[in-house]
Structure 1
């Protein structure tokens, strides 16, 4: 069955996470994503946090599913020749090299337009190609710091905090997917490719716009508030039984949900009580309200609390740990937690495609071995078996 991006070829020159997450999403949507890697070494992510000496790391496997792998030496004349031939067949080139690297390889945007005017050239950079910070390098924590995310994360008496969801890396990758799809759509009208650029700092700033709104509303930098969500009460985490490190739920109540919450807690006696009836009143008595809620949640498991409160129409989420996420029945039912079989590693679990298209279903396949599709891809470009063997001996592939 064809998919949304069937017929689109993406040449993926990226490494680590921001770029590979973008390429993986395009592959999940049906694009033929050819991951071009350095011979013998490959993407450094193959070796990051390895748990087995004989297999690619789980980190690499998390961001390179559904791709094909081709090894090319882009410093070798024949390697560059092959890369140029590949680009002539491509719709998208995706890269996340440091500042100036792609240009030094001879494949800056002017050169790419000569090779293939219809090519969409997508770049992920720490700070972009222009602006005062353009020559600075970035990683996930740097992007979070410079995008303002760390300044609003943490507790009032503590320092700015790094958050583990990869808003700087994978968040930037998803922004780049949007740019690529828009450029491909515009190409239908113009017949021409264009350059797409996403900086990690820009992507993080886009994701903290609510905090920037509050700065303008209050006239000062937003303060860290821990788990307290604004002035909403209840609006924080509450301890549950049996009291483990992740035995918590998050409960958030707007005005119309206050009475349903009280009934679910068995506190009908407080319905209409003026001490708690308005959001302003609950804020003034927030310690009392939070103690009231936690007295009930602390005697029940987080899953029971969520079932009861969500069943009453009260927004509530159990704080799932990573093990619980990997075994969550709802996520499994939605193909968000997928069991795959790797040719070297064997069985492993990975995350599926969060975007569900009714006419473009995704079947997740394992990440490729280094150079796994070399003969296949080069044959598609017209190289014979003997030529491919010679290219390998010459060090071009």
Structure 2
């Protein structure tokens, strides 16, 4: 039996009585890897019934599992979904999808532009079948524009969007971000667009097509860097290391400790005055090199030296505790093992320890979206490929047992 660590809500939490906000909605999820699956994961954990439609060999992320490393990401993004397989190159597979669309509220796909149209399953066709359908689509560069046919993965998008060129030390080669930023930014924006379209449908009764490109969704994340480029022109450095992207705050850096690093951000004068107290240098509070944000930015090397001389003598958690006690934004630079066991996220239920049927004991995320008065939906670990075929095709769509056997025999499912 699957077990999930459940943490009692704080005593001050509101009574948990309301239904999840997307209860009663059905989502057909044709998406793969991170972008679309994250959007539909958020919907599933908000109460929607998500039917995950995969090709006979499984979606790309599931098939990466045999190379090592991808099995857990698949489990992270596909809790509480019903997986079915359909061969959409077979007309009977396409017909089953059309039958599902008749019953659905939302369809999500992140294929390259034109793929669904070539299958005869484009947005126009599906909205003709179900005029109330919200058709959510995401791609690298969007469905129009000169880049529409370029292939796009997160690494490629990081390069095109300026993320890689902005990441790393000023005197070294650019480095990709460790996180799959462009994929997940697009997934979050896709979820937002679909929710806006659902609200519009409540007023008009009509569905619509919504689209999000990874390129568009990533642009604003480099706001500080663009600000510095606007202010300094060609004099702006391409990369600022761990310093502020617009070089407008000091201290703002990663500082060495006895057992690792901490980051410190001092957005206001009050924070820096507190820092001087913490590091035992209150005598510098009136120093003209340090008594304003502009002066500190100009003398950032002096600021960093002051902090480093102090931080090197202490463990990273001690440094963070001392800063946080005075209200200074600070955190230890933690490794993934520490993050996966974060006491705050485990206490809130946004991380949960689960006994997965194939992976064993794992830590899985719950949705970051919290709704007052609504209890968290219990996590149902991701299911094997095609595990919900019979439930959906026979139970939901009403195909006979003989039909089901023929679909299996003929490689349609």
Pairwise TM-score range, normalised by the shorter structure: over 0.9
Q: TM-score, normalised by structure 1?
A: 0.93
**Which residue, 141, 149, 155 being the options, matches 2:155?**
141
SS across alignment from 1:84: helix
The residue number in structure 2 matching 1:287 is 301
Q: How many residues align?
A: 390
- CA contact 2:111–2:139 (8 Å) conserved in 1: yes
TM-align CA RMSD: 1.8
Higher mean C-alpha deviation, range 184-193 or range 263-272:
263-272
The residue number in structure 1 matching 2:345 is 331
**Which residue, 182, 186, 196 being the options, matches 1:168?**
182
The residue number in structure 1 matching 2:388 is 373
The residue number in structure 1 matching 2:211 is 197
- CA contact 2:53–2:84 (8 Å) conserved in 1: yes
- Residue correspondence of structure 1 range 96-135 to structure 2 within 5 A: 96-135=110-149
Give the CA deviation at 1:181. Answer: 0.3
Higher mean C-alpha deviation, range 189-198 or range 146-155:
146-155
- Residue correspondence of structure 1 range 40-119 to structure 2 within 5 A: 41-50=57-66, 57-119=71-133
The residue number in structure 1 matching 2:11 is none
SS across alignment from 2:77: coil
Give the CA deviation at 1:9. Answer: 0.7
Tell me how far apart the structure 1 counterparts of residues 297 and 54 of structure 2 sit (CA, whole Å): 56
SS across alignment from 1:347: strand
SS across alignment from 2:182: coil
The residue number in structure 1 matching 2:370 is 356
**Which residue, 379, 382, 394 being the options, matches 2:398?**
382
Tell me how far apart the structure 2 counterparts of residues 14 and 159 of structure 1 sit (CA, whole Å): 34
> Residues 310-351 of structure 1: CA distance to partner in whole angstroms, max 9, x if unpaired?
110111111111011011211211223211222222221122
- CA contact 2:352–2:363 (8 Å) conserved in 1: yes
Q: List 4+ stretches of structure 1 deviating above 6 A.
A: none
Q: TM-score, normalised by structure 2?
A: 0.90
Structure 2 alignment gaps of length 5 or more: 1-17
The residue number in structure 2 matching 1:392 is 408
**Which residue, 245, 248, 263 being the options, matches 1:250?**
263
Tell me how far apart the structure 2 counterparts of residues 359 and 167 of structure 1 sit (CA, whole Å): 31
Change beyond 3 A, Cα 1:180–1:147: same
Give the CA deviation at 1:84. Answer: 0.7
Structure 1 alignment gaps of length 5 or more: none
Tell me how far apart the structure 1 counterparts of residues 151 and 237 of structure 2 sit (CA, whole Å): 27
Structure with greater contact order relative to length (CA < 8 Å, sep ≥ 6): 2
